[in-house]
Structure 1
């Protein structure tokens, strides 16, 4: 659901002959905010709204998740991202066929820097993810923030259904404030899973999948996640 809504809003804006072709960055940022809320709401009862390997890694580093569960969650997140990207392609297939811009087609699946430079993009992805995860930790239940009670070993973030809305607003804010440099992946599964779909699927007129950049939206968010977890532990 995260990728279906999130990558869907990108496709809706950048592909040829859609009704939203005259959209803006505001549309993309808002769409991704809604995507995070919808995805988190759907997954909340099952996994505590874990949609992002960076969040799961941060929970592990903060001592709030077992290694085996973190690995299981990350695997599921990648599978979900791949399925979501495949659905976006199936949904917009006539528009992919009608689009001549190969870069726009790739943008419907994965991110890339506005100005080339992998190390600067890595820095932006790390800071963007840090700005995502530390506030999520601080939005969580007080027992999680202060490291007391059963939440010490509970992987559930403890935000509750209504508490997921601020997380969507947070992602909307990151997009508006920090998203313009790289497209703010801030989620390894959200970028790498759809990038694999772009690589494997017979998309008419596609370009290469930019594997030289692909490590950035994976490694950057992981580093940002670890930094957020370390700061959280110092605060707790």
Structure 2
């Protein structure tokens, strides 16, 4: 596949992934949303369908990695050229930033209503040094802040994801997910969210977390609070380590 195919496929696919995934978080979180308080099951299935949609769109062009951790795992496995890794990861980051901006546009009225509500303004939740009241729409955060546990959770969850992808035989000569593989991987993501997402919100994708976090930091939202940069390295490093471990286990046990 050409460099332009990788760039277009990964940028568009990741943008759609974040638009739909961030969209379900916004729908379940923001005031004046019809889906407010829809709950964790709705969010996990929303993210699974987001993966399904983004992957189907991008698979013909780039192989539908949509995730720097998946790209790293496929490179370690040998199906993706290392020379293509920076382009994959850069395109995924760009797509994630664009997708998060589209969530903002789609839910603009709800963001404004939520962040100007007396409950938010007068609650003491708005603190530029702390996670903001709508940060969860854009990026992940732990329920209990414990660096070792939070890192371990992201490593384990991402290792499961990458191992599941590789053992499906989805890496077709570097072309990524097959048609059935896209569906199976989407259900794997739902399963990870339901089973392992409780502690940290299961980033399992550095671009999915860092790109929207950057968007949150840049958006002109009133009373948006901080972007929690002190935690931001964990959903980047943890998934990359998990991907390396998952790919290593695959090569050790299945090759």
- Compute the TM-score of the two structures, normalised by the length of structure 1: 0.92
Q: Which moved more, 1:62-71 or 1:183-192?
A: 62-71
Residues matched between the structures, number: 225
Alignment partner of 2:41: what SS?
helix
- Asked if 2 retains the 8 angstrom alpha-carbon contact of 1:113 and 1:181, the reply is yes
- Taking the TM superposition and a 5 Å limit, the aligned residue runs for 1:69-84 are 69-84=84-99
- Taking the TM superposition and a 5 Å limit, the aligned residue runs for 1:53-72 are 53-72=68-87
The CA distance in 1 between the partners of 2:21 and 2:133, in whole Å, is: 15
Instruction: Quote the residue 1:148 is aligned against.
Output: none
The CA distance in 2 between the partners of 1:115 and 1:23, in whole Å, is: 22
Structure 1 stretches of 4+ with a deviation exceeding 3 A read 100-104
Instruction: Quote the residue 1:40 is aligned against.
Output: 55
Where structure 2 has 5 or more consecutive residues not aligned to the other structure, the ranges are 1-15, 121-125, 127-131
- Per the TM alignment, residue 65 of structure 1 is displaced from its structure 2 partner at its CA by 1.6
Matched, 1:166 2:184: yes
Matched, 1:181 2:199: yes
Of 67, 90, 111, which aligns to 1:52?
67
- Asked if 2 retains the 8 angstrom alpha-carbon contact of 1:110 and 1:191, the reply is yes
- Asked if 1 retains the 8 angstrom alpha-carbon contact of 2:133 and 2:225, the reply is no
- Compute the TM-score of the two structures, normalised by the length of structure 2: 0.85
**Backbone CA RMSD of aligned residues:** 1.2
Instruction: Quote the residue 1:147 is aligned against.
Output: none
The CA distance in 2 between the partners of 1:22 and 1:49, in whole Å, is: 31
The CA distance in 2 between the partners of 1:124 and 1:82, in whole Å, is: 24
Of 174, 196, 209, which aligns to 2:214?
196
The CA distance in 2 between the partners of 1:129 and 1:22, in whole Å, is: 27
Instruction: Quote the residue 1:222 is aligned against.
Output: 240
Alignment partner of 1:22: what SS?
coil
Q: Deviations over 1:68-107 (max 9, x none)?
A: 2111111100000000000001111111111144544100
